Structure 1
Amino acid sequence: MVKLIFNQIVMWLVLFLLGISFIGVLIYKVFGLFLFAIFVFFKYKKISVLSGLKSSQHNFAVILLAAFILRLLWVFIIPTKPISDFGLMYGYAQKVAQGDYSGFHGYGYFARFAHDTVTVLYFSLFYKFSSAPLFLIKIANVLFSTFSVFLLYKVVEKIYDDRQTALVSMLLYALYLPSIMYNSQTMQENIATPFYLLSTYYFLAAVKNQTQDKWDKVKLLVFCGLGLAVGHMFRMVGYVFILAYLFYYLFYKRFQNLIIELPVIIISCLVPIIILSSLLVSSGITESQLWNSKEPYWTSILKGTNIEAHGHWNLDDAEIPELYKHDPVKITEASKQIIKDRLLNTPKLKLLGFSIIKFESEWAVPDMSAYIWTIPGAVDYFAFAKVFSKSNLILTGLASSFYLILLFMSILGLHRNKDRPVEINFFLILYLGYALFLMLIEAQARYAYMLSWIFIIFAAGGVRLKDDTVVKVYLDRSIEY
């Protein structure tokens, strides 16, 4: 009974949030609405979704190669300049390569935000091969992104036990604009995403493992934890995945699985992080542990609760650390008090409106702000980039239409497929947990990008019927439910 109630609550909460995202795109992206309306008009009662795509090694290779070529072409055509935090990480990596670790000490930027440490160290490795390694880093991004496309295929195949559906998902991810555009920017998500996908794949492999060989399952769980560790060191949201693993075990597996298997994942995740962090501190490279930034995490929550700034970065909240001389205790106390005042003294309707607007600003942005982070900085460097800078409407229209279809098929599939694989519940929990996490911290659409592949997994259910084949989806069937 408890499992059923939990399942229904999570299901309807996810559908509600997907609906807010869908409506948000329709409201703010008129051009996308136009294209979507034309799409539905021509299809009328039915939407043919890649029904001709056959499962074969040839199609698999073609899609994977196309994913690689599209990303490589983008990197060649759009020479994005590292800006903001990305520029700081890329620039400081050169000093690290020369043996200057001062930025990791005192109140240096990367001592205050220690979670960026591993990314800086990663970039510094490229300076060993070139004095200007930006293009090499972008090529690595392309390889990681293409690997993510492959991993999504493996994840969907593991969920549905069906290669054809996996190919559909693979094609959708290969064409997903943000996953193409962000390759030209030096952002942590480019490296973190495939490792989180890898962790997810091994988790699914472990929970679906029916063999009697216990060591085989242990190996899968260890690889799950190791993938999670690497992903977390680049983008520290691994605890959201751990909580999703926990709740999935709690409600969909036996309690024995929870107390035996989850600790293996957690230990496999924590050990490499603790070892690396301790080595960095003992060698004098860093002063703080990777998980112990000198600027308290409360400052991110402080910005995330700023009503007037809609939860985004703002100067008033950003000046708090300097105001209190970077004293973590005073910063934490001041931040907590301001947050408390905002939540308790803001009218409830205004707080509700703020929450909806903030959520939409994170999840109802079809390109996940990829245009903002990749195009403007490239215009001054390459004339062809100016074409894209003047074609924002076209890129926005394409991204909006694609995203609307993903959201629509996600809602349709989740609402229609009552007999969907139980593993889909893990992704429902993961999405809900991540969405709630983003509601707490400073809002940026690019933060949602790292988990945006989850919509492709949901959409896979929208192109399937009960016989587990890729088919034509009839809109009038959804009305029955």
Structure 2
Amino acid sequence: MTPALTIGSALLYMWALIQSLPFAAAYFGGSYIKAIVWAAVAMAAILIAGAAAARRLGPKSFLLLLVAASLAVRLGWVLWIDTPPVSDFKDMYDAAVRGAGGDFSFAGNEYFSRWAYLVGFTLYETVVVKLFGASVLVLKLLNAVFGAATAVVVYRIGKACFNAYCGRIAALLYAFYLPNIMMCSVLTNQHLSTLLFTLGCGLLATGRLRSRFGWLWIGLLFAAGQIIRPLGAFYVVAAVVYGLVWLVRRPENARRTVLLARLAGLAVVYFVVLQLVGQLLIGAGIARYPLAAQEPYWKFMVGLNRETTGGWSQADTDYALSFPLGSVRDEAELTLLRERLRTVELKSLLWDKARLLWGADDASAYWSLYQTKQAQLQADFNRAERAFYLAMAAFGVIGALALLRRRAEERGYALFALLLVGYAAIHLVIEIQTRYRLDMMPAFVLLQSFGIYTVHQWMQTARQHIPNWRHSPWKKSRSL
């Protein structure tokens, strides 16, 4: 299964590379050559940054610089860009302000009845507002902290799964990837949930399932992530699949039994915590429904909307709201879903959805700069994002192909290949938005970091065969 996963991730990176090129060219006057040139410049900049970080800084110095720099750039962004809450972000923030005043009646309105899983993140915002006042700036500053913390976690995972070089370059790319920075000024639940899910995956990938209580912490982190953003079930399934494949290949029967029990315990902890939290909130009168979507067919129905290429649809929203919430609305949505399965050209739709999700420019510039004084800078930031996304996709192809020589189960990075491939597969049939790529960015940068390391090693080998190549940034790195 591991070679198949690695090949699958290689194909995904290649798909992202090919499909993002025309979108990138649109920001360079329609010129594919200019897009490729700027992507090459981005690749060179990444290689130089990686070599410099490897040569010049010890482990402690690097971590300090990583935290300081990633925090500084995010703090600078949220202080410069005054993004007002809009759309769902505004609904959750307004509800949090009411909740801080003791009014939780919002949980019974149409919005939170449909998307009851958003109550968890809204309550997080409620606590922040209660402690610090109704200022969006504090929430944005916390986003910056979560982003910087995730970069540190990515570093730890990359170092454990590959080597220190990969850990450093993956952390740097995560810390300075423009959409990660720009979205800090947006009150999205992605910042905190990504940190929690990445922590859980890091524990799993680095072998903590072998420890006595590692399974407990992984289950708790996935449950906490689910309370903030409804992706927990995806991570639990990925963890179980990864664990089963890993365990089946182990010869020690006794040890296998223990690890299987811990894997089951992980899933049990996840589901029990969610049930307990949901019932406690309902009992306290804070929530009206369990923390789960009350329209199970919505994302599938929208995901097969040909007119929006699987994106959010106002027409679908109006259609759903014309029926009362519950079994009647479920049946109406299921009816439309079945109709689309019969009438829509699925191959064409799925192709276009995959092309948009993995190839189109990230929507972070829109969400961050919308209704601000800097709105005119969207094209400039998109141009930079396109160049670096192309570069990372190219390194991803190299890294995934290079990983075919290694035993992924032993090093843990098969988990991240599984996450990428699984995430891509699921979004073929459910609603898509390009900002959803940010949920998988830790896995995306971790796997492609091995491609950067591979090219770095090629450069080292070339240096040894070229006399008089002195003072090069590719000079052999000292021990990390």
**Structure-2-length-normalised TM-score:** 0.86
Structure 2 residue matching 1:50: 3-state secondary structure: helix
Q: What pairs with 1:34-49 in structure 2 (closer than 5 Å)?
A: 34-38=34-38, 40=40
**Aligned equivalents of 2:167 and 2:47: distance in 1?**
19
1:464–1:473 CA contact under 8 A, matched in 2:
no
Q: What pairs with 1:12-411 in structure 2 (closer than 5 Å)?
A: 12-30=7-25, 31=27, 34-38=34-38, 40=40, 50-54=50-54, 56=58, 57-105=60-108, 107-160=109-162, 162-206=163-207, 209=210, 217-254=211-248, 256=257, 259-291=260-292, 293-294=293-294, 296-326=295-325, 328-346=326-344, 350-366=345-361, 368-379=362-373, 385=374, 389-411=375-397
**Aligned equivalents of 1:190 and 1:133: distance in 2?**
18
1:49–1:471 CA contact under 8 A, matched in 2:
no
Q: Does residue 1:442 correspond to 2:431, yes or no?
A: yes
Letter of the 1:354 partner, please give it.
Answer: L
Letter of the 2:316 partner, please give it.
Answer: D
Letter of the 2:435 partner, please give it.
Answer: R
Distance 1:102 1:42, change over 3 A: closer
**Aligned equivalents of 1:227 and 1:75: distance in 2?**
27
Of 459, 464, 475, the match for 1:472: 459
TM-superposed deviation, 1:124:
1.2
TM-superposed deviation, 1:325:
2.2
Distance 1:470 1:141, change over 3 A: farther
2:279–2:290 CA contact under 8 A, matched in 1:
yes
**Aligned equivalents of 1:320 and 1:164: distance in 2?**
52
TM-superposed deviation, 1:258:
5.5
2:42–2:387 CA contact under 8 A, matched in 1:
no
**Aligned equivalents of 2:338 and 2:458: distance in 1?**
51
- Spell out, residue by residue over 1:233-288, the C-alpha distance to the aligned partner (whole angstroms, 9 max, x if none): 11111111111112212222235366312112112322332222111111111111
Letter of the 1:156 partner, please give it.
Answer: G
**Aligned equivalents of 1:425 and 1:325: distance in 2?**
44
Structure 2 residue matching 1:290: 3-state secondary structure: coil
Extract structure 1 runs of 4+ deviating beyond 4 A: 41-44, 46-49
Letter of the 2:281 partner, please give it.
Answer: L
TM-superposed deviation, 1:47:
6.5
2:220–2:269 CA contact under 8 A, matched in 1:
yes
1:169–1:456 CA contact under 8 A, matched in 2:
yes
Structure 2 residue matching 1:340: 3-state secondary structure: helix
TM-superposed deviation, 1:358:
1.1
**Structure-1-length-normalised TM-score:** 0.86
Fraction of identical pairs, as percent:
21
Unmatched 5+ stretches in structure 2:
249-255, 463-480
Structure 1 residue matching 2:324: 3-state secondary structure: coil
Distance 1:456 1:42, change over 3 A: closer
- Spell out, residue by residue over 1:212-245, the C-alpha distance to the aligned partner (whole angstroms, 9 max, x if none): xxxxx12222111111111111111111111111
TM-superposed deviation, 1:41:
8.2
Query: Please, what is the CA RMSD of the aligned residues?
Result: 2.5
**Aligned equivalents of 1:234 and 1:430: distance in 2?**
19
Structure 1 residue matching 2:371: 3-state secondary structure: helix
TM-superposed deviation, 1:9:
3.4
2:301–2:430 CA contact under 8 A, matched in 1:
yes
2:392–2:448 CA contact under 8 A, matched in 1:
yes
**Aligned equivalents of 2:73 and 2:48: distance in 1?**
25
Distance 1:175 1:473, change over 3 A: farther
TM-superposed deviation, 1:65:
0.8
Q: Match of 1:382?
A: none
**Aligned equivalents of 2:391 and 2:40: distance in 1?**
10
Unmatched 5+ stretches in structure 1:
1-5, 210-216, 380-384, 476-481
1:51–1:470 CA contact under 8 A, matched in 2:
no
TM-superposed deviation, 1:360:
2.3
Q: Match of 2:2?
A: 7
1:229–1:272 CA contact under 8 A, matched in 2:
yes
Distance 1:154 1:14, change over 3 A: same
